[in-house]
């Protein structure tokens, strides 16, 4: 049966006790209102160890002043039950005042991979994420930490945070879990009203359009981006923050990609009042001649 841990020092003690016994710890950081995507992360963590800690903390410092911190969906009992069923041993659920006591005055800023896309549209967001993830790492002392690819830029930030601050943690990125129409699972999908929900598969459609032209030989970045915008605009209710392609490791945006490059296609858009993000990684194919040799 899963155990709920509220206190940071208690959590550290539990993790240390496991480590003394030689157990490995895997953490799955979440903001709750769990769905199949989160549960797949817990199951992934179980592949590494039985000592899985899921964290549930709606982190105020990663929400902008006009964002949805207060109305972010919450359901503790349901989350507890789902975590238990997915095989998490602990649910770490600290209070805001324990994570950020009076006088808390530290913020971690990672530049480079956070500068554009989400970084541009959600100023301060990534500082909040980096700071809370470092605190969650220090509270749970994991050997492994599992995150979803859906928050692609966040995964780059977490890898950088772990490397730059020497956390002895292996970062594991698990694939995005999608609804039948391709909509990436997200706690925020509950904001979509019925009519808009029917159209929300458009993000996945646009990602696939880009994938298709890349597989047919397109390497020009702006032409790839244009295909994304065109596909998204088939829905009148859409307001695009960005729809772009970039090198997957660095988010650099060259004029054209090269065969063998891993490219991330990134979308952030409002459907009605709800902001959705999604991404896919696509490999730029090598060109083959008639004998199937690579053309250089
Ligand atoms: O991806 C999330 O749910 C959050 O950004 C995280 C990593 C739990 C930090 O609050």
Q: Under a CB-based contact definition with an 8 Å cutoff, are residues 213 and 224 in contact?
A: yes
The confidence score (pLDDT) of residue 274 equals: 96
Please tell me the predicted confidence (pLDDT) of residue 293.
Answer: 75
Distance CA(57)–CA(69), nearest Å, equals 11
Cα–Cα distance measured from residue 65 to residue 143, given in angstroms and rounded to the nearest whole number: 34
125-180 pLDDT, tens digit per residue, is 999 999 999 999 999 999 999 999 999 999 999 999 999 999 999 999 999 999 99
Per the CB < 8 A criterion, the answer to whether 20 and 147 are in contact is no
pLDDT for 296 beyond 70: no
- The domain made up of 3-174 has a fold known as Rossmann fold (3.40.50)
Q: From the CA of 257, how far away is ligand 1's center (Å)?
A: 31
Q: State in Å: Cα 249 to ligand 1 middle.
A: 20
Using a 6 Å cutoff on CB, does residue 31 contact ligand 1? yes
- Say if ligand 1 is within 6 A of residue 187 CB: no
List of E strands, the chain: 3-5, 25-30, 51-56, 90-92, 144-148, 170-174, 238-247, 262-271, 274-283
The model's confidence at residue 115, banded by pLDDT at 50, 70 and 90, is: very high
pLDDT of residue 216: 96
Q: Cα separation of 128 and 60, whole Å?
A: 8
Q: What rounded mean pLDDT belongs to the chain?
A: 97
Residues 44-81 have pLDDT tens digits of 999 999 999 999 999 999 999 999 999 999 999 999 99
Domain spans of the chain? 3-174, 187-281
What's the rounded Cα separation, in Å, for the pair 255 and 223?
10
230-283 pLDDT per residue, tens? 999 999 999 999 999 999 999 999 999 999 999 999 999 999 999 999 999 999
Which residues face 230 on adjacent strands? Answer: none
Tokens representing residue 197 in the block: 């929900």
pLDDT of residue 290: 76
The CATH number, out of the four listed (3.30.1300.10, 3.20.20.70, 1.10.1740.10, 3.40.1800.10), of the domain defined by the range 187-281: 3.30.1300.10
pLDDT at 170: 98
Report residue 295's pLDDT band, with 50, 70 and 90 as the boundaries. Answer: confident
Cα(115)–Cα(209) distance, integer angstroms? 27
Please tell me the pTM assigned to this model. 0.96
Q: How confident is the model at residue 288 (pLDDT cuts 50, 70, 90)?
A: confident
Does residue 38 have an active-site annotation? yes
Share of residues in the chain with pLDDT > 70 (%): 100
pLDDT of residue 108 exceeding 90: yes
Secondary structure of residue 228 in the 3-state scheme: helix
Classify each residue of 44-67 as buried b or exposed e, where b means 16 or more C-beta atoms within 10 Å of its C-beta. bbbebbebbbbbbbbbebbbeeee
Pocket probe for ligand 1: among 53, 118, 128, 132, the residue whose CB has the most ligand atoms within 8 Å is 132
Tell me, using a 6 A CB cutoff, whether residue 119 lines ligand 1.
no
The pLDDT confidence band at residue 291, using thresholds 50, 70 and 90, is confident
Q: How confident is the model at residue 208 (pLDDT cuts 50, 70, 90)?
A: very high
Per-residue pLDDT tens digits for 209-239: 999 999 999 999 999 999 999 999 999 999 9
| Structure tokens belonging to residue 199 | 């159209």
Report d(CA 95, CA 6) in Å as an integer: 7
């Amino acid at each position: 049966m899963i155990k709920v841990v509220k206190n940071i020092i208690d959590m550290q003690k539990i993790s240390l006790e496991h480590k003394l016994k030689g157990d490995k710890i895997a953490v799955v950081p979440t903001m709750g209102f769990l769905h199949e995507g989160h549960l797949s992360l817990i199951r992934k963590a179980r592949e590494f160890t039985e000592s899985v800690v899921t964290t549930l903390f709606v982190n105020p410092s990663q929400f902008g002043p006009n964002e949805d911190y207060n109305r972010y969906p919450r359901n503790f009992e349901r989350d507890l039950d789902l975590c238990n069923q997915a095989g998490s041993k602990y649910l770490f659920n600290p209070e805001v005042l324990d994570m950020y006591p009076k006088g808390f005055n530290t913020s971690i800023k990672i530049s480079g991979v956070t500068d554009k896309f989400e970084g541009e549209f959600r100023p301060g967001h990534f500082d909040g994420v980096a700071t809370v993830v470092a605190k969650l790492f220090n509270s749970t002392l994991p050997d492994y930490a599992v995150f979803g690819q859906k928050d692609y830029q966040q995964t780059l930030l977490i890898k950088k945070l772990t490397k730059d601050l020497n956390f002895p943690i292996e970062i594991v990125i698990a694939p995005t879990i999608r609804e039948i129409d391709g909509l990436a699972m997200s706690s925020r999908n509950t904001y979509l009203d019925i009519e808009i929900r029917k159209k929300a598969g458009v993000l996945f459609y646009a990602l696939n359009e880009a994938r298709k032209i890349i597989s047919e030989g397109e390497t020009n970045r702006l032409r790839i981006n244009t295909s994304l915008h065109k596909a998204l605009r088939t829905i009148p209710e859409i307001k695009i923050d960005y729809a772009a392609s970039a090198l997957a490791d660095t988010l650099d945006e060259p004029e054209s990609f090269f065969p063998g490059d891993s490219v991330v296609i990134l979308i952030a858009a409002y459907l009605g009042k709800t902001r959705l993000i999604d991404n896919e990684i696509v490999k730029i194919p090598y060109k083959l001649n008639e004998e199937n040799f690579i053309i250089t």
